[in-house]
């Protein structure tokens, strides 16, 4: 199904910014809760079954006690691309480790019906040319992406020495042997010369701490652990098990928007519990044109990725190869993702222009709701009243249409701060009870609660000092990749590095950077990769000096995980001039002798 909707033309003169700001503030305040991020409970402890792996049986194995050259923590795209680059550089001894039962990271865990990547697949899926693939769809379904992760692992022989269903519980540096002692929840006590971490940010499912949630006697699961045994079907086929079921879905974020069309189509009755509506723009999904695929010349993916990154990072380009909802809203993304800004304007002028463009975009998005949804009251509830990047923008040509179906009911919970309580057989909002057979939580993930950088995994560097102690809540890295006191430990992620909506591109650059450092260390016979304190301090100064605060923007946003549920803490996390400038800076740095991390050993 596609929509014939055409956005109305809105000019800046039509927009009353003061009135809009007041409306946004009113809607924000309606949703603001005093318990902030504490309103959620992690899917651990008594809720641990929400996080169990439903896809791969866990098999027993003997504890590992050997030594490898590189231990890679994380089998998602960051880990895979880095391992691929290391293989290309001639490193053979690589062990991939992941809590999941196979490769894929996000795409391993998230297999819900309707799952797609909302970034164009030709730019998002890494190493397409290396693997010899062209995606079948403009926006690839999750299973195609997961299979691509497996194809990368096969191509680079990364299954050879994996440890799946394994969680690292401690990393401890051994100064004598100059390697890391790695302990895991499988009783492993192995060693690695280098440890590289790519453990993601949105990985641990979270649940709303709704009173009575644990008393529900029907069926329940989180979207990132989809129970096809209960629902029947597959990610793209009929969920036949729901034909006689009353289903509740809690949450209307990027995940909710993708699953609801499938649940609405197949469930006997679907109740959608919404607290804040998403912005839902046109998707324009289409299969890949075989003639176009056949015409691609070597280097096509790099060119397309670069073009996309340049546009969404605010750089000027001659041509837009992608032409989608991300490239057309590049300037709006600046509030959340670093990048180039129009330096000919003062900050105040820039703020005003940005706010007007934002208001025009959001007016279009709200008008689309009216154009698609038949019932005016339902349409009103589905309109997002906040600025474009306050929440992850979504794209769908199926979602809003669902609310015209007789078996789909939208239940707005905004006035109650969410669902009031759950009973043995129902969800209660205010005084109204909705009896259901199944509750599906599309309630998202803990932010940054995994791996080394979160502090959840104890890392003991030189002299037993932990990363947490060394950083004292104020991370210190060189380029986000390595830290003084923690030799041969390298990280992927946005921290003090770059960020962009196509994060797979950022990971690809980080992979190349790490591979270049390890290659140079190998060539020079250097044993320790560790930034000097001076280099680290210089990088922090650079980040601070170039930092652009988005505190005021986040403060005014509707609550969500982008602004810590309405209570943002302002700290520059990544390099504000943006990924294009950052990648150039890294290239320039790589053309030096790398003494900043290889020290006097070289």
> Which residues make up the interface to ligand NDP (CB under 6 A)?
31, 116-118, 202, 208, 210, 250-256, 258, 273, 275-276, 392, 413, 418-419, 442-445, 560-561
Q: Which tokens in the block code for residue 380?
A: 């009103």
Beta bridge mates, 71 = 95, 195
User: By CB neighbour count within 10 A (0-12 exposed, 13-18 middle, 19+ buried), where does 38 fall?
Assistant: exposed
For the CB of residue 566, give the shortest distance to ligand NDP in the complex, in Å: 10
For the CB of residue 192, give the shortest distance to ligand NDP in the complex, in Å: 30
User: Are 91 and 521 contacting, i.e. CB atoms less than 8 angstroms apart?
Assistant: no
Nearer to ligand NDP, 163 or 419 (CB): 419
For the CB of residue 269, give the shortest distance to ligand NDP in the complex, in Å: 18
Nearer to ligand NDP, 23 or 587 (CB): 23
Q: Which stretches of 64-212 are DSSP H helices?
A: 77-88, 106-109, 121-124, 128-131, 142-155
CA distances from 254 to 78, 135, 276 (A): 22, 22, 12
Nearer to ligand NDP, 172 or 304 (CB): 304
Count of other CB atoms within 10 angstroms of residue 211: 12
User: Are 396 and 257 contacting, i.e. CB atoms less than 8 angstroms apart?
Assistant: yes
516: nearest Cα among 86, 155, 91: 86
For the CB of residue 416, give the shortest distance to ligand NDP in the complex, in Å: 8
User: Are 430 and 420 contacting, i.e. CB atoms less than 8 angstroms apart?
Assistant: yes
The 3-class secondary structure across 456-506, one letter per residue, is: CCCEECHHHCEHHHHHCCCCCCECCCECCCCCCEEECCCCCCCCCCCHHHH
CA distances from 360 to 123, 179, 329, 333, 343 (A): 28, 55, 11, 14, 22
Nearer to ligand NDP, 35 or 177 (CB): 35
Q: Which tokens in the block code for residue 424?
A: 């043995």
Nearer to ligand NDP, 137 or 589 (CB): 137
For the CB of residue 226, give the shortest distance to ligand NDP in the complex, in Å: 12
For the CB of residue 564, give the shortest distance to ligand NDP in the complex, in Å: 11
Angle at 547 between CA 545 and CA 551, to 5 degrees: 140
Place of tokens 């306050």: 390
Q: Which tokens in the block code for residue 27?
A: 């809607």
Nearer to ligand NDP, 119 or 457 (CB): 119
Give Cβ neighbours of residue 243 (< 8 Å, ≥ 6 apart).
Answer: 266, 267, 268
Count of other CB atoms within 10 angstroms of residue 161: 16
Nearer to ligand NDP, 173 or 273 (CB): 273
Nearer to ligand NDP, 360 or 443 (CB): 443
For the CB of residue 107, give the shortest distance to ligand NDP in the complex, in Å: 10
Please give the DSSP secondary-structure letter assigned to residue 267: S
Nearer to ligand NDP, 313 or 413 (CB): 413
For the CB of residue 591, give the shortest distance to ligand NDP in the complex, in Å: 34
For the CB of residue 73, give the shortest distance to ligand NDP in the complex, in Å: 21
For the CB of residue 139, give the shortest distance to ligand NDP in the complex, in Å: 8
For the CB of residue 161, give the shortest distance to ligand NDP in the complex, in Å: 30
Dist. CA 589–CA 350, nearest whole Å: 32
Nearer to ligand NDP, 108 or 561 (CB): 561
Nearer to ligand NDP, 48 or 211 (CB): 211
């Amino acid at each position: 199904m596609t929509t014939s909707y055409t956005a109305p033309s809105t000019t800046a003169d039509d927009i009353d910014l003061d009135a809009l700001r007041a409306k946004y503030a009113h809607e924000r305040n309606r949703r603001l809760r005093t318990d902030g991020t504490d309103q959620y409970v992690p899917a651990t402890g008594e809720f641990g079954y929400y996080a169990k792996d439903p896809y791969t049986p866990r098999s027993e194995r003997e504890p590992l006690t050997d030594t490898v050259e590189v231990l890679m923590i994380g089998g998602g795209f960051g880990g895979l691309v880095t391992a691929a680059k290391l293989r290309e550089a001639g490193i053979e001894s690589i062990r991939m480790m992941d809590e999941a039962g196979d490769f894929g990271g996000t795409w391993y865990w998230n297999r819900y019906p309707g799952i797609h990547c909302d970034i164009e697949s030709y730019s998002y899926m890494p190493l397409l040319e290396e693997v010899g693939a062209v995606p079948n769809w403009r926006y690839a379904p999750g299973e195609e992406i997961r299979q691509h992760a497996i194809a990368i692992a096969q191509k680079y022989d990364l299954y050879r020495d994996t440890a799946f269903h394994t969680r690292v519980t401690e990393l401890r540096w051994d100064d004598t042997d100059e390697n890391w002692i790695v302990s895991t929840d499988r009783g492993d006590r192995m060693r690695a010369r280098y440890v590289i971490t790519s453990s993601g940010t949105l990985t641990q499912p979270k649940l709303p701490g709704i009173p009575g949630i644990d008393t529900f006697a029907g069926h329940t699961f989180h979207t990132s652990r989809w129970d096809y045994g209960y629902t029947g079907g597959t990610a793209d086929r009929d969920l036949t098990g729901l034909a006689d079921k009353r289903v509740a879905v809690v949450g209307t974020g990027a995940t909710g928007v993708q699953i609801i069309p499938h649940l609405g189509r197949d469930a006997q009755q679907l109740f959608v519990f919404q607290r804040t509506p998403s912005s839902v723009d046109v998707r324009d999904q289409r299969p890949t044109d075989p003639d176009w695929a056949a015409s691609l010349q070597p280097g096509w993916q790099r060119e397309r990725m670069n073009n996309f990154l340049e546009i969404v990072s605010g750089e000027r380009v001659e041509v837009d190869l992608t032409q989608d909802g991300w490239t057309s809203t590049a300037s709006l993304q600046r509030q959340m993702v670093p990048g180039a800004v129009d330096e000919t304007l003062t900050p105040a002028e820039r703020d005003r222009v940005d706010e007007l463009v934002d208001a025009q975009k959001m007016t279009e998005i709200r008008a689309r709701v009216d154009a698609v949804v038949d019932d005016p009251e339902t349409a009103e509830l589905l309109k997002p009243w906040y600025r474009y990047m306050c929440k992850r923008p979504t794209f769908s040509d199926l979602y809003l249409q669902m609310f015209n179906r007789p078996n789909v009911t939208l239940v707005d919970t905004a006035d109650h701060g969410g669902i009031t309580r759950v009973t043995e057989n129902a969800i209660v909002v205010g005084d109204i009870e909705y009896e259901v057979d199944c509750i599906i939580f599309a309630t998202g993930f803990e932010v940054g609660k995994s791996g080394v950088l979160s502090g959840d995994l104890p890392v003991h560097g030189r002299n037993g000092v932990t990363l947490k102690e060394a950083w004292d809540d104020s991370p210190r890295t060189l380029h986000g990749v390595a830290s003084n006191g923690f030799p041969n430990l390298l990280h992927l992620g946005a921290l003090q590095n770059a960020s962009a909506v196509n994060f797979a591109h950022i990971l690809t650059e980080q992979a190349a950077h790490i591979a270049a450092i390890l290659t140079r260390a190998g060539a020079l016979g250097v044993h320790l990769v560790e930034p000097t304190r001076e280099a680290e301090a210089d990088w922090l100064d650079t980040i601070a000096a170039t930092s652009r605060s988005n505190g005021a923007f986040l403060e005014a946003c509707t609550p969500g995980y982008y602004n810590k549920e309405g209570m943002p803490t302002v700290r520059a996390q990544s390099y504000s001039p943006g990924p294009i400038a950052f990648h150039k800076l890294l290239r320039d740095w790589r053309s030096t002798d790398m003494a900043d991390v290889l020290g006097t050993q070289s």
